[in-house]
Amino acid sequence: EVQLVESGGGLVQPGRSLRLSCTASGFTFGDYAMSWFRQAPGKGLEWVGFIRSKAYGGTTEYAASVKGRFTISRDDSKSIAYLQMNSLKTEDTAVYYCTRGSRYFDYWGQGTLVTVSS
């Protein structure tokens, strides 16, 4: 059974950093691109970015709203994807989801809440 479990969310002050983890199981993690999404309270889904599999160079793409502040990485030996978030802003407050895939997203984690507030 495919499972994705996010962790690392919490309350953080504006300007600070936070790193989210997505631990995967039930599939060959290294074979897949992994993506991150977020959903602000009461709002719709927003794509954050994705990381390709090593077979496709392991490169990353980001939404304009987070480019230069957020970094996605992966550790295939541990089946974990990371979302490093720097220079956080209040508008980054959201539930963050990790998903499998890059053009459609067939498995989603349960999400982790990030609250950016002073």
Q: Is 103 in the site for other proteins (CB under 8 A)?
A: yes
**Is the Cβ of residue 61 or residue 76 nearer to other proteins in the bound state?**
61
Q: Which stretch binds other proteins (CB under 8 A): 19-27, 68-76, 86-94, 101-109?
A: 101-109
Question: Considering the rule CB under 8 A, would residue 69 count as an interface residue with other proteins?
Answer: no
Distances (CA, A) of 46 to 24, 73, 78: 21, 19, 27
Q: Which stretch binds other proteins (CB under 8 A): 8-16, 44-52, 69-77, 79-87?
A: 44-52
Output 54 or 67, the one with its CB closest to other proteins. Answer: 67
Tokens, residue 7: 């962790």
- Dump strand ranges (E) for the chain: 3-7, 10-12, 18-25, 34-39, 45-51, 60-62, 70-75, 80-85, 94-100, 107-108, 112-116
Phi, psi of 96 (to 5 degrees): -105, 130
**Segment lying near other proteins (by CB under 8 A), choices 17-25, 60-68, 74-82, 85-93:** 60-68
DSSP strand pairing (10-12 vs 112-116): parallel
Q: Which is nearer to other proteins, 17 or 25 (CB)?
A: 25
Q: List residues binding other proteins (CB under 8 A).
A: 35, 44-47, 50, 61, 63-64, 97, 102-111
